[in-house]
Amino acid sequence: MDTPTEICSRKVLRGAETETASFYLLEGDVAWIRYKEKEEEFGIQEAKRHTEVLDALNEGNPVHVVVDFRGLDILFSHEAREYFAANEAHGSVRASQAIILSGLAHKIVANFYLKFNKPDCPARIFYAPEDALLWTSKLKNAGNSNDQPQRKEENRENSVNNTL
């Protein structure tokens, strides 16, 4: 895997790769996930593997996750969507979730995920990567005097609504 040195002007600290995505830990407690094209449905086993990678990438500390779906067609199983939204193990590695999209079809699917699967952390849709990173920075700065991402219990109290 060729790990970039920078993503959107943020230094890449380390990376990891699975068959379904590339993961990059960026400065500022941000994990950038770039999904790969997948013919079959993305299932629960892949979702659990993503949690393991995120956990290892930031050594068990929660991160602000930026998920980049631009230009991809991926179908997530119901179980995978539920797992990403509300599983305790996945929630413990994620402080927030920014979803970067590139079209109306993606927006419909992402809105469905946000409204019906209801992630247990602040989550929002973006079209520009810079806006997603700015939002994660604002969450980090607004919610933490000790400069660490919040745990899941605190996220519920401070959730940010999707305004798109």
- Condensed to tens digits (0 to 9), the pLDDT of residues 25-71 reads 999 999 999 999 888 999 999 999 999 999 999 998 999 999 998 98
**Contacts within 8 Å (CB) and 24+ apart, 152-158:** 152/62, 152/88, 152/91, 152/92, 152/120, 152/121, 155/95, 155/96, 155/120, 155/121, 155/122, 156/120, 158/122
For 33, 52, 120, 143, 151, the CA distances from 157, given in Å and listed in that order, are: 25, 26, 10, 10, 11
Q: What whole-number distance in Å separates Cα of residue 132 and Cα of residue 44?
A: 26
Q: What is the pLDDT of residue 3?
A: 66
| Nearest alpha carbon to residue 86 among 36, 135, 33, 156 | 156
Residue corresponding to tokens 């959730």: 159
Give, for all 164 residues of the chain, the pLDDT tens digit. Answer: 566 787 888 999 999 999 999 999 999 999 999 999 888 999 999 999 999 999 999 998 999 999 998 988 888 999 999 999 988 988 899 999 999 999 888 888 888 888 888 888 999 999 999 999 999 999 988 875 334 444 333 333 333 333 33
- Domain locations in the chain as residue ranges: 6-152
pLDDT of residue 66: 96
**6-152 homologous superfamily:** STAS domain (3.30.750.24)
Put simply, whether the predicted model's pTM sits higher than 0.85 gets the answer no
Residue 81: CB atoms within 10 A of its CB come to 19
Residues 153, 110: Cα–Cα separation, whole Å: 23
State residue 1's pLDDT score.
Answer: 56
